[in-house]
Amino acid sequence: MNTPLKIIVLGATGMAGSRIADEAVARGHAVTAVARHHDAQAPARDGLNRVTADAAAPDLPFDGADAVVSALPARAALPLLPALVARAAGRRLLFVGGAGSLRLPNGERVIDQPGFREEWKPEASAHVDLLDALRALPDDVDWTFLSPSALFLPGERTGTFRLGGDDLLAEADGTSRISAEDYAVALLDEIETPAHRRQRFTVGY
């Protein structure tokens, strides 16, 4: 990465959003972190501008941004998609996705498995719908959707992981996982060196 980028992170205080913002700042980018609530005690940091606003606010500062990252829940991002596309015209749009639409070796989706918990289905279904909506957008919309592995939790930044396409990644013992920290690394790598424009991809160990 040679030139610092201007990156907006929507939902910047959540598990994924906070780590994406941290990773971007650590790489020297200028980050606008948008959330409804910020920690009033959080120290000021070079490269990080905290904006307290709803992601639907029409006056969010998209001007001058190189990339807009939605780390919002899919049920919040989906109804905002038309407005995000219109306001981010000419900029990259990247979405924190879900694992539910990834395929298993038998060709079936993760969300359709008998053991998939009922309480996860509303958000997982919204991620499926969001991905479908992105794939239906006109060709001039520059979007990327990054699905985590099945287990997506806070952990360690190792910088060592695998990337995939539409298939769930799993380790030799069948475990499918990625830390939120390494997920952020993969997303920032994609922002800096685009390799999955208008595609979904996934990351896992």
126-143 confidence digits (pLDDT tens): 999 999 999 999 999 999
What tens digit of pLDDT does each residue of 16-74 get?
A: 999 999 999 999 999 999 998 888 767 778 899 999 998 888 778 788 899 999 999 99
Using alpha carbons, list the distances in angstroms from residue 188 to 12, 19, 22, 138, 145: 14, 10, 10, 24, 13
* CA distance linking residue 160 with residue 83, whole number of Å: 35
| pLDDT at residue 94 in the model | 98
| pLDDT at residue 48 in the model | 94
The bridge status of strand 199-204 relative to strand 143-147 is parallel
Residue scoring higher pLDDT (156 or 89): 156
CA dihedral 43, 44, 49, 51 (to 10 degrees): 40
